[in-house]
Amino acid sequence: MDAEAGDGGSACATEYADGHFPAGTVTFTLPPSAISSKHEIYLPDVQAAFPGVDWTAMDRLYIPAGHYSLLRLGNLPDRSALRPLVITNSGGQVRIGGFPSSYLVSITGGSHWVFTGRYDPTSGTGDAAFPGHRCAAYATSRGRYGIVVDDDWHEFPAQQRIGLGIGGSAHDFEVEFLEATGVGFAGVVAKNHDVALPIMHHMAFHDLYIHDVGSEGFYLGDTDLTTAVPYDHVAIYNNRVLRTGSEPLQVGQLGDGSEVHHNVFALGGRMWRSAFECGVQDGNTQYGQRNGVASVHHNTFLGATQSLLQAFQPVAPGDPHAVGDGVTFSDNYFASTRWLGVYLHVPAAPVAFSTTFEHNYFRDLAFTYDELYPNLAERAYIFGGSSTPNEPVILHANVWDGPWKLHAWGGTFVAPDGAFGSVTVSGSQHAPLAPMRFVDFGLPADTDYRRVEFWVPQNLCYDQWGTGTSDPAAPPPTYLNGTIVMYQRALYRLDAATSTGEPPDLFPAKWSALGLPADDVRQADASPYPGVGLAY
């Protein structure tokens, strides 16, 4: 499909080596009594539920294989970095979702715990029959993780339930090697509204496969300033976040030491015709940072309907600030949007904070957002914002193609470099850029990613820009020839001139079934952006 070259890297990198976790000598498996007749594991205080267990010494908490409507693990213990509590599946796959329930997975409290579906026979985690993408088997990993959150589109497109929710002042934890799909709202949500214990930091999310969800892939932190302290030392890496209704990545209130790197965030805002907030969250990434030093590097940001990136710098009273605070976006690949490139939300009251974009690639940017919002106009530049920046913004050695200017703050198309108030631009290069090529995304190599979306029965957002509301009386959208839609878990391509209100599975004369995408989004060997995207 995408590429005929290479396997995209080492077939069994050291990240998959057995013995990843400290030896597990003290273990506990949830007993049958913990599972209700409604297929629920509901333990809001797991320590109180099993008072005979020594939660200070246990190395493994095993969840028995099964299909559950929900999983609730609350009041996890506080452990140490040298001896974390590893929570994993046992005896097969743990699947959560597909039944009527209030939520899917909720984990709260505790520290130094790991929630993992990793198969590791030496560490005693996971199951051999469900290895996920172990040894880079990305193309065959769908449905084969030890822990899968799959709501089977139970409430789609209502966009209500989330896949995995983490809160209750949990901190110093790790989530890895699991799949989240088919949920109406976000795949993973982590935020804390516990004012009594306003901490939630040192969080790591890696090697996750989040795909085909109704809203965000990741939703970490808050958009508004409701959190008492920033979420510092947040690590997000080597994740595949594909085909999301809203942004693949929405992070807010980040603090010092946070890092987002070597991820593929592809095909965001695919519910743009029928989003829960019309015209507001149908881009690729929202990034918000309050203070400290953080970096976003070597990621693939592919496909947006509104903007490829919205960056916020919220100013919270009482936050410490220092010279050198800021975020650096470097060595990222940004491509394929219907309207905006990078939109900076400039704070009214500046603090010591800089935003740097260095050695990034921008390609395939075009204005087609007026298909849904006819009153919007093209903004023929990549970098812009809510106002003129009043804090340092540095653009250095970025490469872009297409007809848009690099930025909106001065200069010309052919001469964008210079000093423009708080903005410094240098080393810019306008040059043709080749598309990123994947081992096997499951789409034709010449796909126009703007024309891949979820099939929806109504154009609920038509002409609703700025209101955040939808029109319940809206007619069905008219899809045009060549559009590729995700419907009932499979891809379909429209071969007829148009289709209006015709579910793809019921109109095979118009819609060709393309099957399930492989989602091996490692770069192919011949791809011209070395080191960008998945790390292994």
What is the 8-class DSSP label of residue 134? G
DSSP string, 281-294: S-SSEEEEE-SSEE
Q: Which two tokens stand for residue 528?
A: 């011209």
- Please name each of the domains of the chain with its CATH number: 453-522 (2.10.10)
Task: Answer yes or no: are the C-beta atoms of 234 and 258 closer than 8 Å.
Answer: yes
pLDDT number for residue 156:
63
Q: How far apart are CA 217 and CA 271, in angstroms?
A: 13
Nearest to 437 by CA among 311, 527, 304, 341: 527
10 Å Cβ neighbour count for 420? 18
Tell me the pLDDT of the chain (536 aa) as tens digits: 554 333 334 468 888 999 999 989 999 999 999 999 999 999 999 999 999 999 999 999 999 999 999 999 999 999 999 999 999 999 999 999 999 888 999 999 999 999 999 999 999 999 999 999 999 999 999 999 999 999 998 766 666 889 999 998 899 999 999 999 999 999 999 998 776 666 789 999 999 999 999 999 999 998 777 777 889 999 999 999 999 999 999 999 999 999 999 999 999 999 999 988 899 899 999 999 999 999 999 999 999 999 999 999 988 888 999 999 999 999 999 999 999 999 999 998 888 999 999 999 999 999 999 999 999 999 999 999 999 999 999 999 999 999 999 999 999 999 999 999 999 999 999 999 999 999 999 998 889 999 999 999 999 999 999 888 989 899 999 999 999 999 988 999 999 999 999 999 999 999 999 999 999 999 998 889 999 999 99
- Residue 393 CB contacts under 8 Å (≥ 6 apart), including other chains: 344, 354, 355, 356, 422, 423, 424
Task: Answer yes or no: are the C-beta atoms of 359 and 332 closer than 8 Å.
Answer: no
> pTM value?
0.96
- In this structure, the chain runs to a length of 536
Helix, strand, or coil (residue 270):
coil
Q: Which two tokens stand for residue 158?
A: 């209502």
